[in-house]
Amino acid sequence: MIISTGTASGKSLAYLTPAVATCLDGGTILYLTPTKALAADQLRSLRELRITQLRAACFDGDTPFEERTWVRQHANYVLTNPDMLHRSVLPRHAQWSSFFRRLRLVVVDECHGYRGVFGSHVAQILRRLRRVCARYGSRPTFLLASATASEPGAFAMRLTGLEMDEVTVDASPKGATTIALWEPPLTELRGEGGAPVRRTATAEAADLLADLVLADVRTLAFVRSRRGAETVALTARAKLADVAFSLSARFPGTPATPTPATADMPQTAPTPTNAPDAIRTADAPGDVSGATQTVGTSMHAPGAAQTTSTGAAAPDATQTTSTRAAALDATQTTSAKAAAADATRNTSAKAAAAQTSSTRAAAADATQTTSASADQPGTPQQDAARQDERATRHGGRATGQADEASGPVAESSLTWAIPDSPTHPDWADLPNKIAAYRAGYLAEDRRLLEKALRAGTLMGLASTNALELGVDVSGLDAVLIAGWPGTRASLWQQAGRAGRDGQDALAVLIARDDPLDTYLVHHPQALFGQPVEAIVLDPDNPYVLGPHLCAAAAEIPLTDDDLPIFGDTTSTVLDDLVAQGLLRRRPAGWFWTRRERATDLADIRGGGGAPIQVVESSTGRLLGSVDEPSAHTTVHTGAVYLHQGETFLVELLDLEAGVALVSSANPDFTTFARDITDISILATQRSHPLGTGTLHFGEVEVTRQVVSYLKRRLQSGEMLGDEPLELPPRTLRTRAVWWTLPASAVAPLAEAGIDLGGAAHAAEHASIGLLPLFATCDRWDIGGVSTELHADTGLLTVFVYDGHEGGAGFAERGYARATDWLTATREAITSCECERGCPSCIQSPKCGNGNNPLDKRGAVRLLNTLLNPQ
């Protein structure tokens, strides 16, 4: 059974009721979740039931070893994740024999999170689980739950290999969710190639987070990357520290300086950074290592009782106070916090009086909806570097201080929500109301942050998607989403974190400089009123199936009767495993005969390689971990590394030892890794004509190597140097979609003076940005290469490939919807208001070639040639 209804619709109750009844009848329950945070939250809810016969316990990487024996022997409700099921529970199934004999129900919560390569691995883990259960004579019922699964029955069947019934009717009461898409303004500053850039989504999110916390609105800000989450929290805390200083001057008798942060809160660094992601040549996929940017608009959220209108970016910075006040006035109405709302309206009215009539009209319209921010802009490289300047405008260091770009500021835009007399006995505690949360933190730090947010000690939390799935934070009033989260499913999932228990809520999608967000701003119909994306997973991927067949054989020798459980391609893959010497075929079946652990063959998170431990060299303190592929771009020797608000310099990256040694520092520069990419075609599986060209899908081999890193000054973005690195190349065998144009089709373009290489490069960037609209992926899950003359095709060729070994189904989805995908790509380029190309259309935040060459006009002509019928 799969239950697919909206957020906060009672899915937890739907599986808790039969689960608890099963425990009372002597059965056992296995609960699977993608994240540790959700398991800890569910365990808290179970313990609050105070049922003595219910012996619930978490069994994950945070469980102390001395407790694991008790869990195996005595727990009847075990909460774990696919990683522990794969590496610990199934390989040691004999130690769990009592539990498996009585297993009656397997709950797979937030199952929409199992997509792509990760979902394919989980599908095989569930098949291994079914096989182990059969070994002990049990046939448990599988109950799946998701708020955002498209075609839930078909997806659940593919995930589990079992026939599925589905429940999709949602009759639960819901509060109104006000949704705004917030487009930062274009700035006067210029980026690569002189292109205009928008103010970064992370800078906007930091301002809004500080505003909302000051207004006593409990807020969760979702940020795309670990580094970005740290930056948003750090910047917002710095702004609140400035407000605290200003208020202590206005209201003598309160402490004049902020108090030190508590042990579970990040420390405020003197100069926060908001650096963009590591630059990657030829748009290679990878983990987002820095803050990125994007764009937006607004309409209906699924299941919402009310809606809002589109908010557009205001033209100058003097509108910031009134537009923020209007947006937060909606928030206060939503959350029914009257005192803060009154203060909001009073100050908003004062600010509006100083504006022109047109500006007042825009602010009034925004009051009815949720408007956009028009703060003083900055470039992706310089925006966060100019922290002191922005904090002067927004943090209220000195009331009435002048701003060179926007003129005099009558009152700090962060203090508009403060009434005429202090309501807080200690303003200096304001910065401690905001913290960062992400994977890689130690377990005790994560639990402290979750507890503080629930208790209200924390009013604002900047998080990666580690808190996206199902964590019930009662009293959460607003959600900020810094950048398009990759899928409509993730958007509604993140927006659903606020407004639980039937209360009203606010959700703001803050756009980045990105082709997809630009497209959604100009085509909101592609976002609202549309079903969520189909969940893509491929359990038959031989790179996924092979390691799990080895693991299954190590658990219990495989027989012919087991083959249907794992899929139609099992026999072929088994023959390959025998030929490689990984399995041995005997009359009784297939056996694992090696000394090493078979489970080590499968990296289910798709990263490849053991994680790199980040250690402070002077103290030996373990700060966290970074997955091995991301380590090449985030913790290479010489990199600037952020952790819980502190800045470190990487002294040494030792890949063999799996350690990155760092030291505390306060550099005036930030770093960007650059790599080179080469691609070769291994096999073409499908092809068909597309306009005057040809579209292909097949297997490719991609070679990437990080070769250097750039150093740029924080204050000005000045290039300080390009430092060489010696890191090993990484080879990836994957699947790609590519299109070619014959010489006869491109010759007229060359004669017209179009730079063919720049046109292909621009089309590649834009198509990578738009593919997530048609496949359940993120632009960081895919990569691309473009060339005027490729060695394997002899033609102008543009590749887009899956960034996972063996492929993840994204390129295949692009092949299936190529016409729609490339048409949307062309529209995204043509609808952008820039002249020569910018990050909103053809520039990429991860281009290792420095976004050069790029030809916007040529890209449109090239796509017209490709899409127009012969």
- Proportion of the chain above pLDDT 90, given as a percent: 35
In the block, which residue shows the tokens 């700090």? 412
| Residues 458, 218: Cα–Cα separation, whole Å | 8
Contacts of 52 (CB under 8 A, 6+ apart): none
Beta strand spans in 27-91 (E):
28-32, 56-58, 77-80
* Residue 485 confidence (pLDDT): 81
DSSP 252: B
- Least confident stretch, 209-223, 459-473, 761-775: 459-473
Residue 268: which pLDDT band, with cuts at 50, 70 and 90?
very low
Quick check: 694 and 662 in contact, CB under 8 A? no
For the record, the structure tokens of 687 come out as 């092809």
| Residues 81, 60: Cα–Cα separation, whole Å | 7
Mean pLDDT of 544-559: 95
- Taking the C-alpha atoms of 625, 630, 635 and 638 in order, what is their torsion angle to the nearest 10 degrees? 180
Q: What is the mean pLDDT of the chain?
A: 76
Which residues in 620-650 are b (16+ Cβ under 10 Å) and which e?
Answer: eeebbbbbbbbbbbbbbbbbbbbbbbbbbbb
For the record, the structure tokens of 797 come out as 């060729």
| Residues 854, 858: Cα–Cα separation, whole Å | 9
* Residue 421 confidence (pLDDT): 40
| Residues 499, 478: Cα–Cα separation, whole Å | 8
| Residues 202, 385: Cα–Cα separation, whole Å | 13
Q: What is the largest CA-CA distance in the chain?
A: 87
Tell me how crowded residue 665 is: count the other CB atoms within 10 A of its CB: 13
Measured in whole angstroms, the distance separating CA 349 from the mean position of its chain's CA atoms is 37
| Residues 115, 777: Cα–Cα separation, whole Å | 9
Total count of residues recorded for the chain: 870
**69 exposed, middle or buried (CB, 10 Å; 0-12, 13-18, 19+)?**
exposed
Residue predicted with more confidence, 175 or 403: 175
Mean pLDDT of 354-376: 31
DSSP 558: B
Residue 331: which pLDDT band, with cuts at 50, 70 and 90?
very low
- Least confident stretch, 49-63, 443-457, 609-623, 787-801: 443-457
* Residue 426 confidence (pLDDT): 63
H helix or E strand, kind and range, residue 163: none
* Residue 222 confidence (pLDDT): 92
DSSP 109: T
Say whether 638 sits in a helix, a strand or coil: coil
DSSP states along 507-544? EEEEPPS-HHHHHHHH-GGGTTT-PPPPPP--TT-HHH
| Residues 367, 365: Cα–Cα separation, whole Å | 5
Tell me how crowded residue 251 is: count the other CB atoms within 10 A of its CB: 14
* Residue 835 confidence (pLDDT): 80
**Residue of 515, 378, 484 lying closest to 856 (CA atoms):** 515
DSSP states along 680-712? EEEEEEEEEEETTEEEEEEEEEEEEEEEEEEEE
The pTM (predicted TM-score) of the whole model is: 0.62
